[in-house]
Structure 1
Amino acid sequence: METKLANPAPLGLMGFGMTTILLNIHNAGFFPISSMILAMGIFYGGIAQVIAGIMEFKKGNTFGTTAFTSYGLFWLTLVALIVMPKLGWAEPTPHAYMGCYLAMWGLFTFFMFLGTLKGKTTLKFIFLSLTVLFALLAIRDFTGSELIGTIAGWEGIVCGASACYLAMAEVLHEQYGRVVLPY
């Protein structure tokens, strides 16, 4: 008897998308880092994406497993980098070191983008715009440029919104048995 498994991608995409939008509203200069962003980073951006990655593993999807688990752990490490110094558990990370952290995530994301080239247009856009976002954030931290940080914030809002769009397109497609939102 074959068991039908639910598509975990919308959960992972929404966890990524909503958390990315909220953090980048901060990066664009609208409000400071707060418990709201940190909580989203831990629970929806972090834990929910790790769960989606594990579910993708069960379905045999190496790309989905790697993407959702990795970006879920990205959010958890990012929150740890912000919170651990405030708790006295570690020294604050200098901007240049954060630039290296973000550049490594950008490199990883670029290679993941290459994995989307035979896939859905929206998925290609998400990974390409995320690659650009990590590059902009790394440059911001290497240079200290507030302008680049603001540009990154706006670009990140678009990136996160595209992930939310794909998540809802997939949910509606499954619910209605046809393409409702093109993707």
Structure 2
Amino acid sequence: MTNNPTALAIKDTTANPAPLGLLGFGMTTVLLNLHNAGFYSVNSMIIGMGIFMGGIAQIFAGLQEWKKNNTFGATAFTAYGSFWLSLVALWLIPKTSFGAAYASDEKSVGFYLLLWGIFTLFMFIGTLRSNRMLQVVFFTLTILFFLLAAADFTGNETLHIIAGYEGIFCGLSAFYGCVAQVLNEVYGKTVLPLGVKRTTVKIE
């Protein structure tokens, strides 16, 4: 009696979580940077979107990317979802009775943004093996973090406004990536191009 080993292949039939993550990132980034550009003040609209779309939706997408064995997507969506929750915490904690003494000054926020910029720079390097859409999102996000950090370190309001407009473009790029992936999948063809995908790294 001989034992013949049998190969078992498991096909992943779950949906693509990346459009949700890109939507959460893109919409909240546009809305926050309209504030940075001077169109309105921080308000409950930004805070609400930051918690639920920027935070919870992205973390959910990141957890689904983890299940798909996509380290890049899982790290990116979970990290930036946590960024949004931490940003909301920075705004709200000083408004509480116990947190008033812990309000962050511009210098500390500058270091906060600088670290996120460094992290995003390394993530951008990872996108060089991915599609053009993803490269644009992470490149412009890197610039956004560095501009905002510089604005906080120097107190230069002009830099802050420039960062706002640059951030609007970054957010719209992610929004485009969401819509493109959804429509391309629905129609089974390239409706909106994402750029040539090279290999391995993906958020799709």
Q: Aligning the two structures, in what range does the TM-score lie when normalised by the shorter sequence?
A: over 0.9
Amino acid at match of 2:169: V
User: Residues of 2 paired with 1:87 and 1:39: CA distance?
Assistant: 17
The correspondence for 2:91, drawn from 82, 94, 113, is 82
Q: State yes or no: 1:133 paired with 2:144.
A: yes
1:1-183 equivalences in 2 (<5 Å): 2-90=11-99, 91-183=102-194
Amino acid in structure 2 at the alignment position of 1:49: Q
TM-score scaled by length of structure 1: 0.98
Whole-angstrom distance in 2 between the partners of 1:2 and 1:161: 33
Post-superposition CA distance 1:66-109 (Å, at most 9, x none): 00000000000000000000113322100000000000000000
Structure 1 stretch displaced more, 84-93 or 11-20? 84-93
Which amino acid counterpart does residue 114 of structure 1 have in structure 2?
I
Structure-2 separation of matches of 1:169 and 1:8: 13
Q: Which amino acid counterpart does residue 127 of structure 2 have in structure 1?
A: T
Distance in 1 between the 2:142 and 2:12 partners?
A: 36
The aligned amino acid for 2:22 is: L
Structure 2: runs of 5 or more not aligned: 1-9, 195-204
Q: Higher Cα Rg: structure 1 or 2?
A: 2
Work out the percentage of aligned pairs sharing the same amino acid.
57
**By percentage of residues, which structure has more helix?**
1
User: Structure 1: 5+ residue runs without aligned partners?
Assistant: none
How many pairs were matched up? Answer: 183
Deviation, structure 1 residue 139:
0.3
Map Cα deviations across residues 49-75 of structure 1 (whole Å, 9 max, x no partner). 000000000000000000000000000
Q: CA deviation at 1:2?
A: 3.5
4+ residue runs of structure 1 moved beyond 2 angstroms? none
Query: Partners of 2:52 and 2:63 in 1: how far apart?
Result: 15
